[in-house]
Structure 1
Amino acid sequence: MTQTPPGEHQKPLQSQVSHSDAPGTKKSGYLWIIPVLISLIGAFMAILDSSIVNVAIPTIMNVFNTDTSTVEWVVTIYMLALGVVVPLSGWLGDKLGFKRLYIFSLLSFTFGSLLCSMSWDINSLIIARVVQAIGGGMIMPTTMAMVVRIVPPGMLGGGMGIFGIALLVAPAIGPTLGGYLVEYINWRWIFTINLPIGVLGSLLSYFFIPDFPSSEAGRFDVGGALTSATGLFCLLLALSKGNDWGWTSEPIVLLFYTSAVMLGLFVYLELTQENPLLDLRVFRYPTFSLANFMVTITTVGLYAGIFYLPLFLQIGRGLGAMETGLVMMPGALVSGVMMPIVGFLYDRVGPKVLSVSGLLFLSFMTYLFHYLSIDTPTSTIVMWMALRGLGMSFANMPAQTAALSVIPPELVGRASAITNIITRVSASFGIAVLTSIMNRREVMHAAHLADNITSTNPMLMDFWSQVGSTTGVAPEQAKSLGLLYLQKVISLEAFVRSIDDIFIIAACFTLAGVIPAFFLRKGEGRRRGTVLE
């Protein structure tokens, strides 16, 4: 008797179609692209919202007459709520069906956007962001699970390539669109713009996304839900506030301790439960484990460009949010164009060649950014960003596709939730660590540059004289003005050098991802795309 491989159980009769009717064959062509593109609406909105809100923070602070520490919760609470709801998406998808869950998530996100646009003070806005995150947190893993189930055998790379457009393009469009809306219309429109798109996306999803029959979800894992929610909430809060509160401060240490205890208990519960909230046994698939390990490492490098280059452009070069978005956009557009192409190549050559070559090229391009200076031409930065975007498309998509390609269909929802959690925690961890390093390096560079300012330095004596002759003030006043100017120059130069150091570290992290990439393989024998008839 031939034993059925793990995860390759007989699917329900209602979700089976003959091979001749399967999407991707000559009879049905590429009809699967339509529902995949429609599902992209929600994913694009959820990712776009994360970057578009940051632009409006100064305006919101002024409108509601609040301080920086309070207004930061508009961003922080959204991230924390995401960490709480993402683990629930797999079980809910099995219980309700992924189409129903997707539409519910999209409508919840849209309703939360409506509440945000109508907020009357900072507290109401923060509460509305929680409602928005309930939908936004489940959109991404649910979309990934639907794409994997819709796309036919042998075309998963193409489907995930289309899905990857939202991952890389939306973060770059956010600052540009947000800057325009805040500057020329009204800050509330960063939320209002979601309303017609969300409603349209829900209607299109209802008519064009195929039904995913609900499966036996089993009893709800209350213990797993509580421990994962508490653990992830404490971990993400500690990572987001560590630089502000101090990494050794009592609140941060307590948060890390609570997180470690709760996540440890969560792992124990999930491995001993008959029906766990997140089936951690998916890590027994080597490709899934290696791909997520690779994502954990490379996310640090990927977010260096997304997070620290805008800092350089806005603080170092004095650009506004909209102008910064325009500089970043060519790189995102290159990634968006290349994603489906990389997906096409994945279906033919597998993930290893694409991931290794992409990571090597991305490491090199990330390293080039350590040559940034105040005088670097904008055209050079745009060219580097475009080439770096090319590397990101090769480095990112094949690993995520390979991770899900080896997972049995009935576990895809849980696996996509795990992958989403790993990506979010890795991003928060990377930004926290790199920001801490940047702050230390900035202080070191400032001290080193300040050592050259001495009363015996002949160049400084000439500089005082030039200041005095230019301004026509007394020598002592000229010296004071000159010192004030030099302090600003030193502060700016130290900041730029610290950014340069970050790109070297990010390049090393990205390069480290090459090792697990060598062992990635393409999942074989998966039966995908059987929900379309």
Structure 2
Amino acid sequence: MNKEIKTSPIMAALLVAGFVGLFSETALNIALGELSLLFDVDATTIQWLATGYFLTLGILVPVTGILMQKFTTRQMFMASLLFSIIGTILAAVAPVFAVLLLARIIQAAGLAIILPLTQNVIFTIFPANNRGSAMGVMGLVILAGPAFGPTLAGMILDSLSWHWIFWVTIPFLLFSIIFGFIFIPNVNEIKQLAIDLWSILLSTISFGGIVYGVSAGGDLGWSNITVLGTILLGVIALCLFVIRQLKMQHPMLNLTAFQYPMFVLGLLMNMITFFNMLSMLVVLPMYMQMVLFVSAFGTGLMLLPGSLLNCILAPTIGKFFDKYGPRAVITPGTILVVIGYGLYALSGTETATWLLVVTHIIMMLGVGMVLASVQTNTLNALPRQYFPDGIAITQTSQQVSGAIGIAVMVSLFSAKQQHLLSDITTNTQEAAASGSAFVFSISFVLAIINVILSFFLKKTQ
């Protein structure tokens, strides 16, 4: 570890800001029904408070790769925190839906900067043999933010108004900006790079089109012309973006990272993990509330033990990775995830709540072992000069695959449920149980693919 740099306060500033951003990503979901009535908008429109957040991340994260090389670490950090604070205050005082949506986009812009920036700082200030521990702590934040969001938001809504979901985060953001201003050094090498507007335009259309298309597909139907058109436009723009990057002398996103096999393997495992994990965080509460009739707050409490255990063990898992290498941590983790999805897929209308709590503990322990370790091994495969590009690629793939996972799995859940409800002998509870079992079976198969891929991992430096 670099003795001249105070790593603890730097990590505190970065991780607190990241936690708030990821908490904000899911915390508002539990209040969407109330906000729909309050602002007098339909369910499809109110969903944009979540979709718009993902869309902004999908568009902006790829751009941060070049911004981290053009601006100093401190400049990027301060910009991120200013976006987060302005967006949060604006959301807390929003008088109409349009203002709240704008605030969510500004909030997401802050998160789009802080996540890649945190990874870049970790991979710069920590030597390779300590990165697993540092990334383990970051993995804790990546999991804890979205996992605790609905629980804490449920507690807030039980006693206060929805505005306090935003107000409670302001002291943490102020702590982060003060600590960051004092302690965060400039760790990246500044280059005189010209920002290619065509690359930014193609990147925006490609990732924005794909994320919007799959997000709208759940509401409008997958055969809808707008859904198919935006996804096709996104794919075409992505192909043009890749071609342009390969032909440029100084590309916006250096795709040389794809020449390293361990980077590509890790990227694929990362995408499967996020596809499964973020969709689980949406479908599992739906199952618990619609099938087992658990309240929103009760659902949050049931998911709490798994999330807490993950937080406690995250640093230890990181140290284990540093000492024994990727396969010793990642392969057992992927097996635990398979066991978790297998148990979820067998759940029905009579499943005991204690069994769901135990299953979630197994699942979160497995995800905790896989997530940060895969990311560390993936980026360790790259030479230092490719870290900003590798981080931008991995972060973009995470957000896009997570958004696709939520849209596809919720759509499949609904489709299966509606199909069963067309039979008058099936009630809503049974239909929801079958829909969730169907979705978890798909995740089970994807989790098995991750187990197989993990056998091909090698330790990277």
2:32 paired residue number:
57
Q: 1:124 maps to which residue?
A: 99
Show the counterpart of 1:494: 431
Q: Where does structure 1 differ by over 6 angstroms across 4 or more consecutive aligned residues?
A: none
Structure 2 counterpart of 1:393, which letter? Answer: G
For 1:10, the equivalent position in structure 2 comes to none
Deviations 1:455-482 (A, max 9, x none): xxxxxxxxxxxxxxxxxxxxxxxxxxxx
Matches within 5 A, 1:114-513: 114-446=89-421, 450=424, 490-513=427-450
Cα distance in 1 between the residues matched to 2:191 and 2:214? 36
**Contact 2:279/2:402 (<8 A) preserved:** no
RMSD of equivalent CA atoms: 1.9
Deviations 1:45-76 (A, max 9, x none): 11100110111212222222222222222222
Would the alpha carbon gap of residues 127 and 301 (structure 1) be closer, same or farther in structure 2, given more than 3 Å must change?
A: closer
Deviation at 1:297, TM superposition (A): 2.4
Q: Distance in 1 between matches of 2:254 and 2:29?
A: 34
Deviation at 1:29, TM superposition (A): 11
* Structure 1, 220-229 or 372-381: larger mean CA deviation: 372-381
| Distance apart, 1:211 and its partner CA | 2.5
Alpha-carbon distance in structure 2 between the residues aligned to 1:365 and 1:243: 26
| Whole-angstrom CA distance in 2 between matches of 1:259 and 1:422 | 14
Summarize the Cα distance change of 1:236–1:509 in structure 2 as closer, same or farther, 3 Å threshold: same
Residue 392 of structure 1: CA displacement? 1.1
Q: Is the 8 A contact 2:125 2:187 kept in 1?
A: no
Instruction: Tell me the alpha carbon deviations over residues 243-284 of structure 1, each in whole angstroms, 9 at most, x when there is no partner.
Output: 211111111111112111111110011111111111111111
Conserved in 2, the CA contact under 8 Å of 1:221 and 1:275? no
Matched, 1:518 2:446: no
1:317 aligned counterpart, secondary structure = coil
User: Is this contact kept in 1: 2:54–2:403, CA < 8 A?
Assistant: no
Change (3 A) 1:312 1:123: same
Question: In the superposition, relative to structure 1, how do residues 141 and 442 fare at CA in structure 2: closer, same or farther (>3 Å)?
Answer: same
Task: Find the residue that maps to 2:129 and give its secondary structure.
Answer: coil
Which amino acid is the alignment partner of residue 496 of structure 1? A
Give deviations 1:409-437, integer Å, cap 9, x for gaps. 22212211110110111112222332333
| Cα deviations by residue, 1:17-51 (Å, 9 ceiling, x for unpaired) | xxxxx53xxxx499534422331111101110011
Q: Deviations over 1:207-229 (max 9, x none)?
A: 12232254215111211111000
Structure 2: gaps (5+ residues): none
Does the aligned pair in 2 maintain the 1:238–1:256 contact within 8 Å?
yes
The aligned residue for residue 42 of structure 1 is 17
Equivalent AA in structure 1 for residue 436 of structure 2:
I
Aligned partners of 1:187 and 1:226: how far apart in 2?
A: 36
TM-score by length of 1: 0.83
Shift of the 120–443 alpha-carbon distance from structure 1 to 2, 3 Å rule, reads closer
Amino acid at match of 1:522: K
SS in 1 for 2:162: coil
Determine the C-alpha separation between the residues in 1 that align with 2:175 and 2:63: 25
Bigger radius of gyration: 1
Matched position secondary structure for 1:155: helix
Contact 1:54 1:75 in 2 (8 A): yes
Distance 2:219 2:74 in 1: 41
Contact 2:10 2:180 in 1 (8 A): yes
SS at match of 1:78: helix
CA drift of 1:447 comes to 5.2
Which blocks of at least 5 consecutive residues in structure 1 are unaligned? 1-21, 454-486, 525-533
> Can you list the C-alpha shifts for 1:182-222, whole angstroms capped at 9, x where unaligned?
22111111112222211110110111223225421511121
* 1:304 Cα deviation after fit: 4.4
In 1, are the aligned partners of 2:79 and 2:110 still within 8 Å (CA)? yes
